[in-house]
Amino acid sequence: MQLRNPNLLRGESYIAGMWQQGEDLQTFAVLNPATGETILNVADLNDRDAERAIAAAHAAKPGWAALTVKERAKLLRRWFDLIMENQDDLTLILTTEQGKPLAEAKGEIAYGASYIEWFAEEAKRVYGDIIAPPNNSQRLFVIKQAIGVVASITPWNFPNAMLARKAAPALAAGCTFVAKPAHETPLSAIALAVLAEQAGIPAGVFNIVCSSSAPTIGKVMTSSPLVSKLSFTGSTQVGKTLLEQCAGTVKKTSMELGGNAPFIVFNDANLDLAIKGLMSSKFRNAGQTCVCTNRIYVQREIHEAFVEKLSTAMEALHTGNGSRAHVNIGPLITTKAVAKVTSLVDDAVTKGAKVIYQAKVDTNAGDIDTHFYPPTLISGVNKDMQISRDEIFGPVAAISIFDTEEEVLASANDTEFGLASYFYTSDISRVWRFGEALEYGIVGINEGLISNEMAPFGGIKESGFGREGSKYGIEDYMEIKYMCLGGI
Ligand SMILES: NC(=O)C1=CN([C@@H]2O[C@H](COP(=O)(O)OP(=O)(O)OC[C@H]3O[C@@H](n4cnc5c(N)ncnc54)[C@H](OP(=O)(O)O)[C@@H]3O)[C@@H](O)[C@H]2O)C=CC1
Ligand SMILES: O=C(O)CCCC(=O)O
C-alpha cells in the first residue's frame, strides 16, 4: 500500500498515549477481502490489556472532563482537520481492509469526520434547566455531566465512521473512551488513533484495543465497574449478549443493531426518483449496512415498469476489487457472508421467486472470485422466504408485489426490527399518514440516503436504542443531575 503518510499504517494498539504490542506479544492477520492477502499482522491483546486501557481511560477522565468545552472542541476540531488532510491515505487503508470501492471509502472518511466536526460544535450547546420549586424555600436545577468511561464495540462495515460517531460525542461531552474495533478491520481505527495523538488529545482519553477475541474484550468491557457506558453497533444477537453482560454493573448502553428495511413504491411515485433512491439504499457498501433496503414492495400496477427500470440501472454496477477505478460493488467481507447471501437467494428461488437479473463479477488476477456476490434482482418474494426476514447484507434486490396501503403497512411492520424504512409517493396526505404509521426509527420519504451527522440515527424494537449524530447524540453520553437547594 503506497501511503503519503506511512505512519498511519500501524499494527499496535493505543493505550494511555502509548503504542502497545500487548502482554502476550501475539498477532493476528488483517486480510484484504478482495484478494485474501495479509495486509498487516496486528498485535492481539488480551483481557489484562483491556483492563489497562480501561484504567488509563479512568485515570484520564477527571483531567479531560475538567477542560472547558472550548478546549475540548478545539482538540476535536484539530482531529477533524487532520483526518481530512489525510483523507486519501485513510481511504486506501479502508478499501484495502474492508473492500468497499475507493469512492465510497473516501465518502466514509468524510462522513466519519463530519461527526467529529459536528460534536466539536455541539460540545458548546449542552444546556441545563431551572425548574419551578414546590415551595419558596427551595431552588431546583438540572445540570448535565459526562457519564465517565465509555467502551465501544464497532463492526467491520464502517470501520472509520462507526467509531468516529461514537467517540466524537463521548469526547465532546467530557467522557474518555476505549474502543474495540472489529478484528477484520482494525487498521482504520488505529489510523484514527494516530491522528488523535497528533491532534494533541491527551494520553488515556482515546484508547484502542485490538484483539482476535471479541468475547474476551467484550467481557472485560461489560463487567468492569470503571466503565459507565457501552456503545455497540453490530448484530442484534451480539447486542443481546452484551446487554445481558452489562446488567451485572447496570451500565448505560446504546445499541445500534440489525435492520430489515422495507422500501415501498406506491403507484403514484416518481419512478425515476425511486430507482435512484433504491440504487443507493440497496447497493451502498455492496448491501452491507444496517440501513440498506432489505425488502422492496412495489404496487402491482407499476411492478413491470419498475423491474425493467431497475434491471437497466443495475447494469451500471461493476463488481470487483474496490481499488479499481470503475468498480462500484466490492467483495463481501468474508466467504461466510457470501455463503449466507447465496443461501438466502437459493431459498427464495426454491420457494418460487424468479431471478430477473444477475450481474457478472469482474475480478482481476489475484482476486478471489468466491469473495464476491454479483448484484442480483429477484421478484415474487413472499414472507415465507427467509430473505424477507433476515438481514441480507449483500447486493440482492428482493421484490414483492402489493395491492393496498393497509396490506403493505402490515407487511412493512411485520418484523422484529425497526431501524430504517423508505417509501415513495406523491400523495402528501399519505406522506404523513404512512410515515407516522411505520414502526421505524428512521423514515426516508422519496429519499434513499438518510444518514448524515445532523440527523438522529437509531432504531426501535430489536434494532436497538440510543441516537447517534444530531443535537440528540451528545445526550447519550451525559447524565442528568438534579440539584435541590434549600433554606432560602
Ligand atoms: N448493525 C450493523 O451495522 C451490523 C449488523 N451486522 C449483522 O450481523 C451479521 C453478522 O456480522 P458480524 O460481523 O458477525 O456481526 P457481529 O455483531 O458479530 O460483530 C460486530 C462487532 O461485535 C464484536 N463481537 C462479536 N461477538 C462479540 C462478543 N461476544 N462480545 C463482544 N463483542 C463481540 C465483533 O468483533 P469481531 O469482529 O472482532 O469478532 C465486532 O466488533 C451481518 O451479516 C449483519 O446481518 C453486522 C455488522 C454491522
Ligand atoms: O450500522 C451500519 O450499518 C452503518 C450505518 C451506516 C450509516 O450510517 O448510514
Mean pLDDT for 417-440 is: 98
The closest ligand to the CA of 235 turns out to be 1
Whole-number pLDDT of residue 285: 98
Whole-number pLDDT of residue 245: 98
Mean pLDDT for 281-292 is: 98
Please say if the pLDDT value at position 394 is more than 90.
Answer: yes
Instruction: Categorize the per-residue pLDDT at 157 as very low, low, confident or very high, splitting at 50, 70 and 90.
Output: very high
Report pLDDT digits (tens) over 201-222.
999 999 999 999 999 999 999 9
Q: How far apart are CA 441 and CA 463, in angstroms?
A: 9
Q: Which of 158, 217, 238 to mutate to test the pocket of ligand 1 (most atoms within 8 A of CB)?
A: 238
Domains of the chain: 6-257+463-484 (3.40.605.10), 261-452 (3.40.309.10)
Whole-number pLDDT of residue 67: 97
CB 289 within 8 A of CB 158: yes
Task: Give the dihedral of Cα atoms 158, 73, 226, 26; nearest 10 deg.
Answer: 50
% of the chain at pLDDT higher than 90: 99
Mean pLDDT for 298-315 is: 98
Whole-number pLDDT of residue 224: 98
Report pLDDT digits (tens) over 31-68.
999 999 999 999 999 999 999 999 999 999 999 999 99
Pocket of ligand 2 (CB under 6 A): 157-158, 162, 233, 256, 289-291, 451, 457
| Cβ neighbour number for residue 347 with a 10 Å cutoff | 15
Q: What is the ipTM of this complex?
A: 0.97
pTM as predicted: 0.97
Q: Does 392 contact ligand 1 (Cβ within 6 A)?
A: no
Helix boundaries (H) for 86-176 = 87-98, 102-122, 161-173
Q: Which whole-number Å values give the CA distances from 487 to 132, 136, 137, 139, 200, in the listed order?
A: 15, 9, 5, 9, 45
DSSP 17: T
Whole-number pLDDT of residue 114: 98
Known catalytic residue: 121? no
Instruction: Categorize the per-residue pLDDT at 365 as very low, low, confident or very high, splitting at 50, 70 and 90.
Output: confident
CB 375 within 8 A of CB 314: yes
Residue with CA closest to ligand 2 atom 6: 289
Please say if the pLDDT value at position 247 is more than 90.
Answer: yes
Q: Does 234 contact ligand 1 (Cβ within 6 A)?
A: yes
Which is the catalytic residue, given 97, 184, 256, 468? Answer: 256
Which phi and psi angles does 131 have, rounded to 5°? Answer: -110, 145
